[in-house]
Amino acid sequence: MSENINTEKKQFELTGKFSGFLSLEGYELKYLQLNSTEGEYVIKIPKELRLPLYKTLRPGDLITCQGESKHNQLNGQSKWKAYSIDKITEKNHKQSPKIVICQGSACLKRGSQRLSEVLQAQLEQENLDQQVEITTTGCLKNCKQGVNLIVMPEKAKYCQVQTQQLATIISRLTVANVTK
């Protein structure tokens, strides 16, 4: 049965209290539980964020997660997978812009590492590197359209990104939510 026909995908952004790490299969703590005013969510953590989060998150911390949910219309179950997970502190309460670049194997083959380096250089050139964070994520399940990146907090998705487009992406970002 095709996942595409019966699965509804949506972007999500959830803020709430972190209550612990979970391993639903095997031993690795791949999930976290977030309690928000809308309910309890079990959210998959991207591989590269697991270690830093194990070290820094404590039960009761306020966090914000952004990612993609998949709702299976046949069995009514939803799965939540984060692109980014941030601890909310006084300092970052006002969400700062972030560019999330896919570093899954297909996007890496299409040059996402180089794209990330060029992006960093361009942000430095524009004096925006202190305001705009670059982070990476695992496969965003859009491999044929790689390189994929997402601009937060707007959740603007860009696909087939090449270095020539970075100036445009940065200029939109500048207008939207950063000050030079």
- The binding site for ligand FES (CB under 6 A) comprises 102, 104-107, 139-143, 146, 148
How far the first Cα of the chain sits from its last, in Å, is: 51
Name the residue nearer to ligand FES (CB basis): 119 or 140: 140
Shortest reach from residue 104's CB to ligand FES, in Å: 2
Shortest reach from residue 112's CB to ligand FES, in Å: 7
Name the residue nearer to ligand FES (CB basis): 16 or 104: 104
Shortest reach from residue 150's CB to ligand FES, in Å: 11
Name the residue nearer to ligand FES (CB basis): 46 or 104: 104
CA distance 3 to 162: 30
Antiparallel, parallel or unpaired: β 149-152 and 7-22: unpaired
Phi, psi of 28 (to 5 degrees): -70, 135
Shortest reach from residue 146's CB to ligand FES, in Å: 5
Name the residue nearer to ligand FES (CB basis): 106 or 178: 106
CA distance 85 to 14: 10
Phi, psi of 72 (to 5 degrees): -85, 110
Phi, psi of 113 (to 5 degrees): -65, -45
